[in-house]
Amino acid sequence: MHVKILANEFKIENFVMRATPSMRTYKFRLYPTKLQEEAFEETIETCRRLYNSMLADRIDNEPGYYAQKQKLVAMKNNDKYLRRVHSQVLQDVVLRVDKAFARFFSGISRFPKFKRRGRYKSFTYPQFVIGFNLDVNNVKLGLIGRVKVKLHRQVRGKPKTGTIIKEIDQWFLALSVEQSPPDQRVSHIPIGSIGIDMGLSSVITLSDGTAIANPKFLKQTGSQIKLLQKEISRKQKGSKSREKARIRLAKAWRKVRRRRDDFAHKVSDDLAKQFSFIVFEDLNVGKMVHNHSLASAIMDSLWGKLRRLTVYKAERRGGRVLFVNPRGTSQKCSGCGSKVTKNLKERTHICPSCGFQVDKDVNAARNILNAGLEQALAETKPLLVQRRRISKFSQRSDKLLALR
């Protein structure tokens, strides 16, 4: 008797600990181009045919879900239409057939029916990032491309699946989102993607238009350090006054480091809290500040710090940080992709091809975000934080641990 109660208690405790996250669905209006609409229609038709043939196969041969998934692989070799649809979308059709039978066998629904034309109205990307992804104005769909979407409300939680639905003459994205149970340590996983351009006029500029100005200490302490360095070089080696100046210089450096760290902590906190998918430029590949001024050396170390802290903080929250090659991001139009050359003094990006006009750093940040989304979409890995060592700044990586 006593043992039994204990066992029950354990069970209950176990259940509480594994409280399943709740799912929720958001519905957003899509604005496909004529060509994209045709692709939607073709995908639906291909999925409908697949659904019917899988249903017939179930009736004739009684295969299970996994056997049917195997069959799908073979079918693709002989069907060019199947090859034009994202493989996970096709797999979801097989799953739909399986679910229809499961509902029938458990007495919830009647026997699954064949779908006539016009009775099959949606297709599903079952995995976020791999099959589809979101940015501010677009949903990027595997094998279809970037489709304009109106995200009329903020998505809270972790996106799971995306279903494209036809409603007469309109198209919608049904986004299912996993909401973390409130008792979890990190109860709110932010969603939202952002690209970050690192520049000299603003420390960073975000793809949503936010610019974070250079902190004042950059110039102030920079010139103070220069003065102290000059002072030391004038003093006689081994003299007491030289030693004093040396200590003053070390203190000035310490001040810079502390202010830099404060600043980097504040900005990385904001980024990690607001965004779950963050894309930086990979400085190993592209631009570094090449003039050897003190201010730019401090700027470099500030960027390094900012990036390291952002990776660490975003990861802790279940977010993801990517690094992309920044080559061409300042010249490309983030609206249409055409090349728009500009000189260093020009502050605004104006595209002669599509008319898109925006601050040049914001344009670069948007390109960086797009490159990151593309990179993520091309991957076969699930949504995980990518760890990447930044060798330029790795001398101080032990500090990251000390900062905890």
DSSP code per residue over 196-229: EEE-SSEEEEETTS-EEEPPTHHHHHHHHHHHHH
Residue nearer to Zn ion on the CB measure, 175 or 333:
333
d(CA 254, CA 154): 41
* Shortest distance (Å) from residue 332 CB to Zn ion: 9
Q: Which amino acid is at 152?
A: H
- Residue 146 near residue 373 (C-beta atoms within 8 A): no
Residue nearer to Zn ion on the CB measure, 233 or 357:
357
* Shortest distance (Å) from residue 394 CB to Zn ion: 38
Is 21 a residue that touches Zn ion (CB under 5 A)?
Answer: no
Residue nearer to Zn ion on the CB measure, 193 or 367:
367
* Shortest distance (Å) from residue 339 CB to Zn ion: 9
* Shortest distance (Å) from residue 191 CB to Zn ion: 27
Residue nearer to Zn ion on the CB measure, 289 or 350:
350
- Residue 143 near residue 100 (C-beta atoms within 8 A): no
Q: Which stretch binds Zn ion (CB under 5 A): 2-10, 90-98, 155-163, 351-359?
A: 351-359
Residue nearer to Zn ion on the CB measure, 221 or 367:
367
Residue nearer to Zn ion on the CB measure, 293 or 353:
353
* Shortest distance (Å) from residue 218 CB to Zn ion: 33
Residue nearer to Zn ion on the CB measure, 194 or 351:
351
In the block, residue with structure tokens 């000189």: 343
Residue nearer to Zn ion on the CB measure, 64 or 337:
337
The residue count for binding Zn ion (CB under 5 A) is: 7
Is 356 a residue that touches Zn ion (CB under 5 A)?
Answer: yes
- Cβ neighbours for 305, distance < 8 A, ≥ 6 positions apart: 260, 261, 264, 393, 396
- Residue 383 near residue 128 (C-beta atoms within 8 A): yes
Residue nearer to Zn ion on the CB measure, 134 or 333:
333
* Shortest distance (Å) from residue 346 CB to Zn ion: 15
Longest CA–CA span in the chain (Å) reads: 97
- Residue 197 near residue 229 (C-beta atoms within 8 A): no
- Burial status of residue 232 (CB atoms within 10 A of its CB: 0-12, 13-18, 19 or more): middle
The one among 149, 351, 368, 373 contacting Zn ion by CB under 5 A: 351
Q: Which stretch binds Zn ion (CB under 5 A): 114-122, 311-319, 320-328, 334-342?
A: 334-342
Helix/strand/coil for 323: strand
* Shortest distance (Å) from residue 337 CB to Zn ion: 7
Helix/strand/coil for 348: strand
The one among 353, 357, 394, 397 contacting Zn ion by CB under 5 A: 353
Helix/strand/coil for 171: strand
Is 228 a residue that touches Zn ion (CB under 5 A)?
Answer: no
Is 19 a residue that touches Zn ion (CB under 5 A)?
Answer: no
The one among 21, 63, 286, 335 contacting Zn ion by CB under 5 A: 335
- Residue 111 near residue 150 (C-beta atoms within 8 A): no
Is 331 a residue that touches Zn ion (CB under 5 A)?
Answer: no
* Shortest distance (Å) from residue 338 CB to Zn ion: 5
* Shortest distance (Å) from residue 352 CB to Zn ion: 8
Give the rounded distance of the alpha carbon of 376 from its chain centre. Answer: 7
* Shortest distance (Å) from residue 146 CB to Zn ion: 14
Per-residue three-class SS string for 75-141? HHHCCHHHHCCCHHHHHHHHHHHHHHHHHHHCCCCCCCCCCCCCCCCEEEECCECCCEEECCCEEEE
Is 333 a residue that touches Zn ion (CB under 5 A)?
Answer: yes
Is 354 a residue that touches Zn ion (CB under 5 A)?
Answer: yes
Residue nearer to Zn ion on the CB measure, 102 or 354:
354
Q: What is the DSSP letter of 386?
A: P
Interacting residue ranges for Zn ion, rule: CB under 5 A? 333, 335-336, 351, 353-354, 356
